Amino acid sequence: MDRRDFLKNIGLVITCGGVVGGLSAEAGALIINKEYDTAKHYYGMGIDIDKCIGCGRCMQACKTENDVPSVPFFFRTWVERYVIKTDKSVNVNNINMNVGEQTEAFVEKDALRSFFVPKLCNQCDHPPCVQVCPVGATFKTADGVVLMDTKRCIGCRYCIQACPYGARYLHPHRKVADKCNFCYHRLVKGLLPACVEVCPKQARIFGDMKSIASPLGRFMRMNKIHVLKPGLNTDPKVYYANLDGEVN
Amino acid sequence: MNGIFKKLPEQAARIIMLFITLAVLLFIVRQFILPRSLTDTVLQKALATEREAAKDIKYAGAQICAGCHEKEHNIKADGYHRDLACESCHGAAQKHTEDPTTFKPNSPRKRDYCGYCHTYNSSRPSGFPQINPNTHNPQRPCITCHSPHNPTPPKVPSSCAACHAQIERTKIASYHALVACTVCHKTPEKHKTSPRTVRPSKPDNREFCGKCHAKDAKTAGTPKVDMATHGEKYVCWQCHYPHMLGGI
Asked whether residue A71 is domain-assigned, the answer is yes
Q: What span, in angstroms and rounded, lies between the C-alpha atoms of B17 and A90?
A: 71
**How many whole angstroms separate alpha carbon B207 and alpha carbon A50?**
35
Q: How many domains does chain A have?
A: 1
The larger pLDDT score, comparing residue A209 to residue A8, is at A209
Residue of A nearest to B82 (CA): A200
Residue A7 lies in a domain: no
Among B21, B103, B106, B123, the strongest candidate for a mutation testing the A interface, having the largest count of A CBs within 10 A, is: B123
**pLDDT (tens digit, 9 = 90+) per residue, A35-76?**
788 888 999 999 999 999 999 999 999 999 999 998 888 999
At A226, which CATH number? 3.30.70.20
Q: Would A10 be classed as within a structural domain?
A: no
Residues paired with A45 in a beta bridge: A206, A238
pLDDT digit string (tens) for A144-179? 999 999 999 999 999 999 999 999 999 999 999 999
**What's the whole-number mean pLDDT along residues A109-115?**
86
- Which of A123, A121, A119, A122 shows the shortest CA–CA distance to A54? A119
- Is pLDDT above 90 for B39? no
Q: How far is CA A108 from the centre of its chain?
A: 32
Alpha-carbon distances of B188 from B125, B155, B157, B228, rounded to whole Å = 21, 17, 13, 33
Identify whether A32 is part of a domain.
no
More confident residue, B132 or B2: B132
Residue B149: is its pLDDT beyond 60?
Answer: yes
Identity of the residue in B54, B57, B125 whose CB atom sits nearest the CB atom of A50: B125
pLDDT of the residue at A14: 65
Task: Determine, yes or no, domain membership for A229.
Answer: yes
pTM of the model: 0.72
At residue B236 the predicted structure's pLDDT band, cuts being 50, 70 and 90, is confident
Chain B hits for A149, Cβ within 8 Å: 44-45, 47-48, 51
Per-residue pLDDT of B89-137, as tens digits, reads 999 999 999 999 999 998 888 888 888 898 888 888 877 888 888 878 8
User: Do the Cβ atoms of A117 and A54 come closer than 8 Å?
Assistant: no
Sign of CA dihedral B224, B228, B231, B237: positive
How many angstroms separate the CA of residue B1 from the nearest CA in chain A? 17
Measured CA to CA, the distance from residue A159 to residue A176 in angstroms comes to: 11
pLDDT surpasses 90 at A28: no
ipTM, two decimals: 0.79
The answer to whether residue A2 sits within a structural domain is no
Residue A78, in any domain of the structure: yes
Cα dihedral sign for A217, A145, B45, A127?
A: positive
pLDDT band (50, 70, 90) for residue B2: low
Question: How many CB pairs (< 8 A) connect A and B?
Answer: 178
- Tell me, yes or no, whether A210 lies in a domain: yes
> Structural domain of residue A197, as residue ranges?
38-241
Say if B3 is an interface residue toward chain A (CB within 8 Å).
Answer: no
Q: Looking at residue A34, what is its pLDDT?
A: 66
Residues of chain A contacting B29 with CB distance shorter than 8 Å = 18
Contact A29 B37 (CB under 8 A): yes
Minimal C-alpha gap between A229 and chain B (Å): 23
